[in-house]
Amino acid sequence: MIEPRLAAHVRIGALQRLTAAAGGFATVLAKGDPVSGIILIARTVRGRDNALLEGMIAFDGSTDWQEIWADDEATVARKGTQAEYIARRRARDGDLWVIELDVASRAQFDAIIGEAS
């Protein structure tokens, strides 16, 4: 039996509210399926430390956020820029959500996604 989980639009709303409460800024870059869309988080820490994270559902039903793209030379050479990577993913999956979280510190970002999981 499949366990129930929160709809994607509810998780996006939670990420926006948690980020705003922490003094950060969240913006939806691409809307996906409101119920079952996969969510990518574009992390920005004061305009640096850019990365993309994808939520993977763990066996216990929680979300494990894994970094799938980073702003370093090796990743950009292998996977392209962040915009190119997102465009390729959206071309294959129109239900994909992309939300950017711009926060003051990596610890703050980790706390936000920890609460949203």
Per residue in 12-52, pLDDT (tens digit) is 999 999 999 999 999 999 999 999 899 999 999 998 889 99
Does pLDDT of 1 surpass 70? no
pTM: 0.91
CATH architecture of 8-116: 3-Layer(aba) Sandwich (3.40)
Q: Are residues 15 and 116 in contact, defined by beta-carbon separation less than 8 angstroms? A: yes
Q: pLDDT of 60-89, one tens digit each?
A: 777 889 999 999 999 999 999 999 999 999
Q: Where are the chain's structural domains? A: 8-116
**What type of residue is 62?**
S
107 vs 6, higher pLDDT? 107
Reported as a pLDDT band with limits 50, 70 and 90, residue 2 is low
The sheet carrying 25-30 orders its strands as 25-30, 97-103, 39-45, 48-57, 63-70
> Closest by alpha carbon to 69, among 91, 98, 107, 93?
98
